[in-house]
Structure 1
Amino acid sequence: MEISSLNQIAVPGVYLLILFLGYPSQVLFCYLDPAPLTKNELYISNVVLVLIFITYTKSVFVDPGTIPKSHGQDDKEGRETAGVKRGDGLKRTKWCRKCDAAKPPRAHHCKECKRCIPKMDHHCPWTANCVSHTTFPHFLRFLFYTSCGLSWLEYLLWIRIAYLWENRNMPAYLGPNPFLVAHLFATTVINSITVFALGVLFIRNVWCLLVNTTTIEGWEIERHRTLIRRARHFGGILQSPDGTKVPIRKQEFPYDVGIWQNVKQGMGTGNPISWLNPLAATPSLNSGLAFPTNGFEDASLSWPPPDPDRSYRRPPPSTNATPFTFADSALSPQESLAAFRERQVADAVRRRRPFVQRAEAQLARDRDGDGIGDGYGDGMSEGESRSDDDEPHKGGRTGGEDDEGEEAWRNAEGERLKDFGVDEEVEFYDEQEDDHVPLGQLLARRRAAGTGTGTVTVTVD
Structure 2
Amino acid sequence: MLNAKYSALAVGVTICLITFLAYGSQLFILELTSREFWIFNTLVGGIWVSYFRCIFTDAGGVPNGWQPSWQGGDSFGGGSGEEGEEDDEGGSSSDDDDKDGEGEGRGKKGEGAREQVKPDKQGRIWGNADCRWCKRCKRWKPARAHHCKNCQTCVLLMDHHCPWTFNCVGYRTWPHFIRFLSFVIAACSYLETFLVGKCLEVWREREMPAYLGPSLSNLILLAMLLLVNTLTDFAIIVLWIRIIANISEGYTTIEWWEQERHNALVRRQAVRRQVYPFDIGIYANICLFMNGGILTWWFPFLPNRPVGEGNAYGGGLRYEVNGFEKTWLTWPPPDPEKFGINERRHMQKEMEGGPWTTGEYDVSDVYAFRRRQREDMRRRFKNDDDGDEEYASEGEDGERKTIKRDEDLLDSYLDSTGYGSGRIEGTYYDERKRQEEMKKKWRNEEGERLADYGVDEEADVLDDEDSVPLAELLRRKREKDALMSGKYR
TM-score normalised by L of structure 2:
0.67
Is 2:447 the partner of 1:414?
yes
Q: Distance in 1 between matches of 2:408 and 2:193?
A: 56
**For residue 57 of structure 1, what is the aligned residue in structure 2?**
52
**For residue 233 of structure 2, what is the aligned residue in structure 1?**
195
Counterpart of 1:425 (choices 455, 458, 473) is 458
Report 1:9-408 matches (<5 A): 9-30=9-30, 36-72=31-67, 76=69, 87=80, 89=112, 93-231=131-269, 238=270, 248-270=271-293, 272-286=294-308, 287-314=315-342, 337-343=397-403, 346=406, 403-405=436-438, 408=441
Give, in angstroms, the shift of residue 78 of structure 1: 5.6
**For residue 3 of structure 2, what is the aligned residue in structure 1?**
3
Judge conservation of contact 1:96–1:426 (CA < 8 Å) in 2: yes
Moved more, 128-137 or 292-301: 292-301
Judge conservation of contact 1:86–1:300 (CA < 8 Å) in 2: no
Give, in angstroms, the shift of residue 46 of structure 1: 1.1
Aligned-residue RMSD, C-alpha:
4.1
Q: Distance in 2 between matches of 1:348 and 1:99?
A: 30
Alpha-carbon spacing, 1:305–1:371, altered in 2? closer, same or farther (3 Å): same
Give, in angstroms, the shift of residue 419 of structure 1: 0.9
* Per-residue CA distance 1:10-63 (angstroms, 9 max, x = gap): 112211111111011001235xxxxx2111111111111111100001011100
Q: Give the length in aligned residue pairs.
A: 372
Report 1:437-448 matches (<5 A): 438-439=468-469
Letter in 2 for 1:259: I
Alpha-carbon spacing, 1:197–1:343, altered in 2? closer, same or farther (3 Å): farther
Give, in angstroms, the shift of residue 8 of structure 1: 1.8
Alpha-carbon spacing, 1:370–1:41, altered in 2? closer, same or farther (3 Å): closer
SS at match of 1:213: coil
Give, in angstroms, the shift of residue 348 of structure 1: 11
Alpha-carbon spacing, 1:184–1:71, altered in 2? closer, same or farther (3 Å): same
Q: Which runs of 5+ in 1 are unaligned?
A: 31-35, 232-237, 239-247, 322-333, 351-357, 377-391, 393-400, 446-461
Judge conservation of contact 2:160–2:254 (CA < 8 Å) in 1: yes
Give, in angstroms, the shift of residue 77 of structure 1: 7.0
Give, in angstroms, the shift of residue 300 of structure 1: 4.4
Q: Distance in 2 between matches of 1:408 and 1:71?
A: 31
Alpha-carbon spacing, 1:85–1:144, altered in 2? closer, same or farther (3 Å): farther
Judge conservation of contact 1:313–1:347 (CA < 8 Å) in 2: no
Q: Distance in 1 between matches of 2:204 and 2:463?
A: 62
Alpha-carbon spacing, 1:62–1:303, altered in 2? closer, same or farther (3 Å): same
* Per-residue CA distance 1:209-230 (angstroms, 9 max, x = gap): 2111000000000011111111
Alpha-carbon spacing, 1:213–1:349, altered in 2? closer, same or farther (3 Å): farther
Judge conservation of contact 1:123–1:421 (CA < 8 Å) in 2: yes
* Per-residue CA distance 1:282-332 (angstroms, 9 max, x = gap): 2222211111110111334321012112224438899999xxxxxxxxxxx
Give, in angstroms, the shift of residue 90 of structure 1: 5.7
SS at match of 2:459: helix
Letter in 2 for 1:12: G
Give, in angstroms, the shift of residue 156 of structure 1: 0.7
Q: Distance in 1 between matches of 2:256 and 2:297?
A: 24
**For residue 391 of structure 2, what is the aligned residue in structure 1?**
none
Moved more, 3-12 or 153-162: 3-12
Q: Distance in 2 between matches of 1:152 and 1:66?
A: 37
Q: Distance in 2 between matches of 1:347 and 1:130?
A: 42
Judge conservation of contact 1:407–1:416 (CA < 8 Å) in 2: no
Q: Distance in 2 between matches of 1:402 and 1:339?
A: 18
Letter in 1 for 2:338: R
Give, in angstroms, the shift of residue 206 of structure 1: 1.5
TM-score normalised by L of structure 1:
0.71
Give, in angstroms, the shift of residue 264 of structure 1: 2.0
Give, in angstroms, the shift of residue 425 of structure 1: 2.5
**For residue 381 of structure 2, what is the aligned residue in structure 1?**
none
SS at match of 1:424: coil
Give, in angstroms, the shift of residue 437 of structure 1: 6.6
SS at match of 2:297: helix
Letter in 2 for 1:189: L
Q: Distance in 2 between matches of 1:348 and 1:134?
A: 45
Give, in angstroms, the shift of residue 153 of structure 1: 0.6
Q: Distance in 2 between matches of 1:90 and 1:18?
A: 52
Q: Distance in 2 between matches of 1:369 and 1:335?
A: 30
Judge conservation of contact 2:61–2:153 (CA < 8 Å) in 1: yes
* Per-residue CA distance 1:157-192 (angstroms, 9 max, x = gap): 000011112222222222111100000011111111
Judge conservation of contact 1:95–1:431 (CA < 8 Å) in 2: no
SS at match of 1:426: coil
Judge conservation of contact 2:341–2:409 (CA < 8 Å) in 1: no
SS at match of 1:116: strand
Alpha-carbon spacing, 1:320–1:151, altered in 2? closer, same or farther (3 Å): farther
Letter in 1 for 2:28: L
